[in-house]
Structure 1
Amino acid sequence: MFFSLTKIFNKYKPFFEYKTLCHRSKSSLGVWSEDLSTDIKLKIERHWSKDVLSQKKIDNDTESFYVLPMFPYPSGNLHMGHVRVYSISDTIARFHKLDGKNVIHPIGWDAFGLPAENAAIERNIPPHQWTRSNIQSMKMQLLKLSFDFDWERELSTCDPQYYKWTQYIFLKLFEKGLAYQCRAKVNWDPIDKTVLADEQVDEFGCSWRSGAKVESKILTQWFIKTTKYAKKLFDGLSSNILEDWKDIINLQKHWIGECNGIVVRFKMTCGDKKKPIDIWTSEPYKLIHGEFITIKKDSIYLQEMENMINEDLKCFNPITKCEMPVYITDDANYAPERDIYIASPSNNEEDFMLSKSLNVPVISCKQVNIEIENKHALEIAQKNDIGGYLVSSKLKDWLISRQRYWGTPIPIIHCDGCGPVAVPLKDLPITLPHVESFGSDIQTLDKLAEWIDCTCPKCQKKAKRETDTMDTFVDSSWYFYRFLDPGNNEKPFDKIKVSGKTPVNIYIGGKEHAVLHLYYARFMSYFLHSLGWIPSPEPFKKLVVQGMVMGQSYKLKSSGKYIPPDNVVLVGKEYKLKNTGESVLAQWEKMSKSKYNGENPERLLTTYGCDTTRLLILSDVPPETSRRWSDATLPGVLNWQHRLWLTIRDFLKHRSSVNYSNEQLSEEEFCEHERKIWDAKNYFIATTTYHFKHTNKLSVGISRLQSLTNTLRKNLPPDVIAKSKEFESALASLIIMLSPVTPHFCSELWAGFVSAPNRICNQSQTNICWDKNVLEQQWPKVDEQYNLSLLCKVDGADRCDLKINAAELIKLDLENALNIVVKEESVAKRIKSGIFKTKYELYPGCRAILHIFTNRKLKMKEECEDIANKQ
């Protein structure tokens, strides 16, 4: 399906201008005497394209670092959201390469789903043809932006060699009783003609994809029992493995809910009709000592059993092995999202009142030890595999059935005698049947009789294939493991290949995926861990959640109609519609064609070049903040690149004439300049490293590099530029640290830098490899003699900031750091009430932070909680 990287390069050779020279022999374009222009930038990018995209081979013994951006849906064209997320991931990946890590930075395609199928229907072409074309187009755009992906790991979820293993994992779930089929009330999208999970319906009851108002239907569907892992997933959010998840933890916890009850599967009967039902209760003892069941009048279970009356309904309790009467009423205290209640009048006053209102006789008056019986009920349920797992009342199992063609086929065969039967592993993958024409009618597998008819693997009688396909979230729930072993033909991946490389070090993507995708991916990892396939249950260590790219939109105040920016004029402080003068409302919104506020990345690449585009998207605001896109930010970035260009020009000029100077500096003056440059260099190395490596606030790191540029251009005498070792070292550090953001531009700056005569720094002193490209250098480190920050925070507020030698700071532990800061008056007077808790964060070569939480703060918190409880 995919072009190899070599084929793409050969096809677009005029664009990439392949060179046969290696890094060590490639020189700069040598146009330093010319002013920096877009034309020169584009020439630079063509000149360095191969070097920038070459994979740097690192020894296998080097520590691995897995940088993973969420893979894209192949829509055919990159949008600014793509540019932002992959600029972030590429910069982080390039940083860690320079920092000596064996970086894994893969890319692939989340290629199944409704958008491709709907587009194929509109164009009367098969979905795989549309998808393949889009992948080729988007791949070229990613290459134009010079993202350093490991294309050898490329995968697509619609490739049978990928979804074979999605089917394999499904069968493992089926084998463990975690994938099951049952009738349920579901959300039906009348436009896309498919079922949606609850998670895919917005707060207004509309489909997240089509926008249509969903309808309620009762259908037989496939589910994955994610609820069985609810408590583990909830508790896992407190794991020390998770770094910087911030408010995502709260979003996940809110979605899962407090796991304060258990579910047990009963069986309801009415005459000869039987129906399995899940009963949730926050009081497990009732499963042993319950005396009757109530059910809501509009419950789905009742809708399937017609002409019933109270006396006919019974419920078999698998804990006690006894039947229980069932009463239909809306008056019971049903838990949120539940329509069945189990009552124990002998042990619960509220249940006793309920029994009186329903005229239910109390069977037993025996009082029980509720705490002991709660534990006993859990043990019985879990031992007999009938439930007993902790879960919130509102959390439902994952509905994965989709009634559309373009998805992973569910590998189940339905036999009248044997029931649902797993497809034998040797027969995987069950591939999608070829469809010649994709016309206006929606294609579904249940229309393809030849594909449906098959033989039962158990009894060899006639049977039929399952015609639903899987939700695309199943495909994307485990792809990050397949990236580590993409060529494995024997199993989804080898445990040896993922060990030491997972959990993913940094996972990057939009906040809109912080609940659904992240929840499903975490569930799948916990399940795979239970099978012994992966070493850790959590899939991702650190999250970098990127905000949306916003564009300014304009719409008429009178009608709300969106209008193109070209039709708007600013009159004083108000926007008006040209020609008519109607009032126009301007606002920042998510980019959209319909709102005329989008930005085409191709325009930016053509007008400003790849590196400037990357620099623009990363500057000014940190990744998690929404980015208001405007050309107004251009002058600052363009000016900075111009100043860097002039810095190399001046460096070459003064190094070529070392004796150039109208006025010789005194030794004292020269040393003072060197000291200031040394101090600035170390400060900006420390702070840039901190933000590139630890906070991932790339915009702040970039601003530090801008400040270092200012230092190197701040009225320095020619003698300093010509003869200063510190200037040379600082300039080298600046170019290296900017190279993850603008790799082509920095490659050219570096080529000019190393071509200068009269070099002062030697490799042993600075770790500069003069014969290598900038992308093969080592990330700069602060000098051991430089004083770094030891910041102490008491109850969240900064109280002292001590300066400690870098060589000594790295040796400090919690105890030593605490002994140092408590001697400071500003700290001592704040901890008189006692220390409740401490936390020490050491960032080698950057800084250290000691957090102290006092008993005073704890006491205040407890007092507030007491007040809240009383209210």
Structure 2
Amino acid sequence: MESRYNPTAIEEKWQKTWAERGIDQTPTETDKPKFYALSMFPYPSGNLHMGHVRNYTITDAIARVHRMQGDRVLHPMGWDAFGLPAENAAIKNQTHPAKWTYNNIAQMRSELKRLGLSYDWNCELATCSPDYYKWTQWIFLQFFQAGLAYQKEAKVNWDPIDQTVLANEQVDSEGRSWRSGAIVEKKNLRQWFLKITDYAEELLQDLDKLTGWPERVKLMQANWIGKSVGAYLEFPIVGMEEKIGVFTTRPDTVYGVTYVVLAPEHPLTPKVTTSERQEAVETFIKEVANQSELERTAEDKPKRGIPTGGKAINPFTGEEIPIWIADYVLYEYGTGAVMGVPAHDTRDFKFANEQNLPIKVVIVPPGNEDLSPHYELKEAYTDPGIMVNSGEFNGKNSTEGKQAIIDYAEQKGFGKARVQYRLRDWLISRQRYWGAPIPVIHCPNCGIVPVPEQDLPVQLPEDVELSGRGASPLAQLESWVNVPCPSCGTPAKRETDTMDTFIDSSWYYLRFCDAQNDGKVFDSAKTNGWMPVDQYVGGIEHAILHLLYSRFFTKVLRDRGLLNFDEPFQRLLTQGMVQGLTYTNPKKSGNAKYIPSNLVNPNDPKDPETGEPLEISYQTMSKSKYNGVAPEQVINKYGADTARMFILFKAPPEKDLEWDEADVEGQFRFLNRVWRLITDFASNQSSAKLDKSKLENPKSKTEKDLRRAIHTAIKEVTDDLGSDYQFNTAISELMKLSNALTDTDSKNSAIYTEGIHTLILMLAPFAPHIAEELWQMIGNTESVHKASWPKYDPAALVADEITLVIQINGKTRGTIEVANTSDKDTLEKYARESEAAQRYLEGKEIKKAIVVPGRNLVNFVVG
């Protein structure tokens, strides 16, 4: 028997044994409850980082607990393997993206296996494999057949560094690309879109079904969908047949419209511009074209605009009002035009004052109906109120007035009720090579023709020249582009754009349920049997993009008859970031301000070059901040079980985790204590086997106390591993149990044996290798991970005796051991008869006895 804990030897041994025995393979029987545990699959960048370790360890612990609790568990892993990093790396290193990608997959797979993660590797998939993207293309054709995939000319987001188009969701709040960080430009291109807007209302309403999701994630999605209820109103243009359509959530303010604003790029702009204003308008349009969307819409920047010289008519008043163009109005949002109501809109109020435009009050606070239309406002009045200066609607409550205005507009034919969404259709075209080709052919006679299903996949050709510039490199490969039309045989051309990689990750969780199926995208019976995912674990950064798209795909495939559920992920856990100790010199700029920790004296942190004092903080681990810790480094020194224990113990899963090697060492010491405890036990073979018949009636007080500690631990750990997954407090309970087993005088009892078994069983989800080794050491032949999770005995939690605290005027004067009871009279009797009470109460009058059974306390109030 090995006396010293050697994690390297143990972990290599059991990882090999588990693989040979197929211990983590997905069960095929259906008589047990199912549990689908899933981590968001990684991009194969080459090496794991601590964020990966945290995500996957959390999910693995959940999967292992559910297996031991009797569920059949699906716990798969795959690779989000298409995308720009592989293509850019291939250009830089003069290799093929496939080679770069598969080499990285092999590296990361080996690192995942070193962590002892209980994946069913038979389910493994890579989105760049033709076996997978064949079905990605098939799903695209399902969208196309349903009228949900279309191509159109559009002004799109262009990443000038990665030389490709981005969806709106891939541009951050600062107007930068989600991946390259470049300021995004606008470009007119013919692109493919998916009609996610057709599902906007259902995506919004079904958020209420997601009771297992964090509220902030649901709020982020609701805000992104951005439902607005209001009216569509049309303003005739003087001297023209066209009308300017606007959407407003405040139709009750329409009598206060004093101007209309078009987006500079609106098609009506050149038509309404007079000859006198043409030169100024064209100059302004060119200036605005160089601004980012962020610059145009930022709240803290002045709103710039100029008059076109054109006039519109307010259909409610018959008044002519000027038509302006302004940088803050975007053609892609709403109708590309807004009605200016400066008295009741903060932005309009500011713009009208800057441009000397009229301000007309039409809503006033109740009791102020006599305000004149020329009342001087110091700021816009945006609250509900009473309608004034609004013709026949005067005196109406503005909330009621909204519907009255809409009804009037519908009767007169210049408006109607409308619901509008911020959400835009999903732009999926990418002008790069390393992605799934869009499976359509452009025929001069037939138009857009889908590739026949029997011809899928449309495979990526290997002999391409990757430049990373301009149009897709596929467009340069004539032998691949030029094909006959599948319908009429006429010479035609393939689509050369590839799909956004978020397409690949929008359905992978469905394929995992039937990953080896060569004949179908998946067997619906199998997928419906496993879905929805019971517990999904991943980063908050995917709250909008991936999660919204996955919900959209699920609903479309449901409507195509492939699925029988509405939502893909029943419960969602968004784990916090892993943060490292960071040394920063605030006087430096760029990455130079971050100082590698190995160059810093932690007792006197100064810049090694300048001698200037450094700031110390915890920030998200990254190479650029020199604060990362490689998982391999930790595993080599302490073992995978210690790394897992630290990750799970340091912080609740949804909170950020601060890396601290002292705490890592603390978990290593704990595992060493457990090792010594159980190896000492195992050396005493006479007590190694568990005799359950001797557990029910412990004889001594120490045995009773130990059994209570064991079953308290079972209850608390089981509760902590319920739906909230409080791993840190669960591990604390294991430490308490370990201490109780170490300190007890009942080491030769059956109850002590029960405690040893219980400690190993409950340690198994957290530290699977050492638990397996110790489980075998005490005489078991079946894997600990196949064993049943322990159940607590409620009777064992009740103590026969309690420690009663005796207080005099609130000060503790002693304690006594008494029979367990909650009866106040009995507790008071015990306290009065105690030596401590009699000593302090002699010669004193007891005015009151306060008995608190729940706290095992009696307080005598004396005069």
**In the alignment, which residue of structure 1 is the partner of 2:595?**
563
**In the alignment, which residue of structure 2 is the partner of 1:185?**
155
1:624 and 2:624 are equivalent in the alignment: no
Output aligned runs, 1:553-632, within 5 Å: 553-560=582-589, 561=592, 562-571=594-603, 574-578=604-608, 581-632=611-662
Change (3 A) 1:488 1:36: closer
Cα distance in 2 for residues equivalent to 1:278 and 1:781: 67
**In the alignment, which residue of structure 1 is the partner of 2:493?**
464
Do 2:15 and 2:116's aligned partners in 1 also have CA atoms closer than 8 Å?
A: no
**In the alignment, which residue of structure 2 is the partner of 1:650?**
680
- What secondary structure does 1:182 align onto? strand
In the TM superposition, what is the alpha-carbon distance from 1:512 to its structure 2 partner? 1.0
- What secondary structure does 1:699 align onto? helix
In the TM superposition, what is the alpha-carbon distance from 1:331 to its structure 2 partner? 8.5
Do 1:263 and 1:278's aligned partners in 2 also have CA atoms closer than 8 Å?
A: yes
Q: 1:721 aligns with which of 728, 736, 747?
A: 747
Q: After the TM superposition, which parts of structure 1 deviate over 6 Å for at least 4 consecutive aligned residues?
A: 262-265, 283-286, 303-314, 331-336, 342-345, 365-370, 372-378
Change (3 A) 1:331 1:559: closer
Change (3 A) 1:708 1:435: same
In the TM superposition, what is the alpha-carbon distance from 1:735 to its structure 2 partner? 0.5
Do 1:620 and 1:700's aligned partners in 2 also have CA atoms closer than 8 Å?
A: no
In the TM superposition, what is the alpha-carbon distance from 1:125 to its structure 2 partner? 1.4
**In the alignment, which residue of structure 1 is the partner of 2:453?**
425
Do 1:271 and 1:312's aligned partners in 2 also have CA atoms closer than 8 Å?
A: no
Q: 1:549 aligns with which of 567, 570, 578?
A: 578
Q: 2:518 aligns with which of 489, 492, 502?
A: 489
1:159 and 2:129 are equivalent in the alignment: yes
- What secondary structure does 2:530 align onto? coil
Change (3 A) 1:227 1:441: closer
**In the alignment, which residue of structure 2 is the partner of 1:197?**
167
**In the alignment, which residue of structure 2 is the partner of 1:774?**
784
Change (3 A) 1:653 1:408: closer
In the TM superposition, what is the alpha-carbon distance from 1:338 to its structure 2 partner? 2.8
Residues 68-112 of structure 1: per-residue CA shift (max 9 Å, x gap): 111111112111111111111111111111111110001111011
**In the alignment, which residue of structure 2 is the partner of 1:98?**
68
In the TM superposition, what is the alpha-carbon distance from 1:166 to its structure 2 partner? 1.5
In the TM superposition, what is the alpha-carbon distance from 1:175 to its structure 2 partner? 2.2
Cα distance in 2 for residues equivalent to 1:278 and 1:456: 41
**In the alignment, which residue of structure 2 is the partner of 1:750?**
775
**In the alignment, which residue of structure 2 is the partner of 1:71?**
41
Change (3 A) 1:262 1:630: farther
Change (3 A) 1:464 1:389: farther
1:692 and 2:692 are equivalent in the alignment: no
Output aligned runs, 1:263-278, within 5 Å: none
In the TM superposition, what is the alpha-carbon distance from 1:649 to its structure 2 partner? 2.8
Cα distance in 1 for residues equivalent to 2:560 and 2:231: 24
- What secondary structure does 2:188 align onto? strand
**In the alignment, which residue of structure 2 is the partner of 1:249?**
218
Residues 606-665 of structure 1: per-residue CA shift (max 9 Å, x gap): 21122122212222211111111121112321221121112113323455489xxxxxxx
Residues 265-319 of structure 1: per-residue CA shift (max 9 Å, x gap): 9xx9x999x99x9975659999xxxxxx9771413545899999999999xxxxx
Do 1:228 and 1:390's aligned partners in 2 also have CA atoms closer than 8 Å?
A: no
Residues 12-51 of structure 1: per-residue CA shift (max 9 Å, x gap): xxxxxxxxxxxxxxxxxx21xx233556655765675547
Cα distance in 2 for residues equivalent to 1:203 and 1:333: 15
Residues 505-526 of structure 1: per-residue CA shift (max 9 Å, x gap): 0001111111211111111112
In the TM superposition, what is the alpha-carbon distance from 1:702 to its structure 2 partner? 1.4
Do 1:415 and 1:464's aligned partners in 2 also have CA atoms closer than 8 Å?
A: yes
**In the alignment, which residue of structure 2 is the partner of 1:843?**
none
Do 1:44 and 1:748's aligned partners in 2 also have CA atoms closer than 8 Å?
A: no
Cα distance in 1 for residues equivalent to 2:737 and 2:215: 31
TM-score, normalised on structure 2?
0.72
Output aligned runs, 1:525-536, within 5 Å: 525-536=554-565
Q: 1:733 aligns with which of 742, 758, 765?
A: 758
Do 2:15 and 2:113's aligned partners in 1 also have CA atoms closer than 8 Å?
A: no
Do 1:231 and 1:391's aligned partners in 2 also have CA atoms closer than 8 Å?
A: no
Residues 480-532 of structure 1: per-residue CA shift (max 9 Å, x gap): 11111223334322221122321100001111111211111111112222222
Cα distance in 2 for residues equivalent to 1:75 and 1:304: 49
TM-score, normalised on structure 1?
0.71
Residues 130-186 of structure 1: per-residue CA shift (max 9 Å, x gap): 111111111111112221111111111111221122222222222222222222222
Do 2:638 and 2:668's aligned partners in 1 also have CA atoms closer than 8 Å?
A: no
**In the alignment, which residue of structure 2 is the partner of 1:338?**
334
**In the alignment, which residue of structure 2 is the partner of 1:474?**
503
In the TM superposition, what is the alpha-carbon distance from 1:54 to its structure 2 partner? 2.5
Q: 2:190 aligns with which of 185, 208, 220?
A: 220
Residues 414-466 of structure 1: per-residue CA shift (max 9 Å, x gap): 23344333223232222222225546767622222222222333443332222
In the TM superposition, what is the alpha-carbon distance from 1:402 to its structure 2 partner? 0.9
Cα distance in 1 for residues equivalent to 2:783 and 2:67: 13
In the TM superposition, what is the alpha-carbon distance from 1:683 to its structure 2 partner? 1.6
Output aligned runs, 1:325-364, within 5 Å: 329-330=324-325, 337-341=333-337
1:400 and 2:428 are equivalent in the alignment: yes
Q: Which amino acid aligns with 1:735?
A: I
Task: Give the CA RMSD over aligned residues.
Answer: 4.4
Do 1:654 and 1:721's aligned partners in 2 also have CA atoms closer than 8 Å?
A: no
Change (3 A) 1:39 1:154: closer
- What secondary structure does 1:713 align onto? helix
Cα distance in 1 for residues equivalent to 2:146 and 2:233: 17
Do 1:228 and 1:389's aligned partners in 2 also have CA atoms closer than 8 Å?
A: no
Change (3 A) 1:787 1:570: closer
Change (3 A) 1:97 1:469: same
Do 2:707 and 2:796's aligned partners in 1 also have CA atoms closer than 8 Å?
A: no
Q: Which amino acid aligns with 2:265?
A: S
1:413 and 2:438 are equivalent in the alignment: no
- Percent identical across equivalent pairs? 40
Do 2:229 and 2:418's aligned partners in 1 also have CA atoms closer than 8 Å?
A: no
Q: Which amino acid aligns with 2:264?
A: D
Q: How many residues align?
A: 696
Moved more, 472-481 or 639-648: 639-648
In the TM superposition, what is the alpha-carbon distance from 1:546 to its structure 2 partner? 1.0
**In the alignment, which residue of structure 2 is the partner of 1:435?**
463
Change (3 A) 1:36 1:489: closer
In the TM superposition, what is the alpha-carbon distance from 1:539 to its structure 2 partner? 0.6
Cα distance in 2 for residues equivalent to 1:559 and 1:66: 49
Cα distance in 1 for residues equivalent to 2:197 and 2:251: 17
1:54 and 2:82 are equivalent in the alignment: no
Cα distance in 1 for residues equivalent to 2:530 and 2:121: 18
Long gaps (5+) in structure 2: 254-258, 276-307, 313-319, 359-390, 394-399, 411-415, 689-695, 799-863
1:260 and 2:205 are equivalent in the alignment: no
Do 1:655 and 1:721's aligned partners in 2 also have CA atoms closer than 8 Å?
A: no
In the TM superposition, what is the alpha-carbon distance from 1:263 to its structure 2 partner? 9.1
Do 2:124 and 2:512's aligned partners in 1 also have CA atoms closer than 8 Å?
A: yes
**In the alignment, which residue of structure 2 is the partner of 1:89?**
59
Cα distance in 2 for residues equivalent to 1:190 and 1:337: 23
Do 2:232 and 2:417's aligned partners in 1 also have CA atoms closer than 8 Å?
A: yes
- Larger Rg, first or second structure (1 or 2): 2
- What secondary structure does 2:700 align onto? helix
Cα distance in 1 for residues equivalent to 2:669 and 2:457: 56
Moved more, 145-154 or 245-254: 245-254
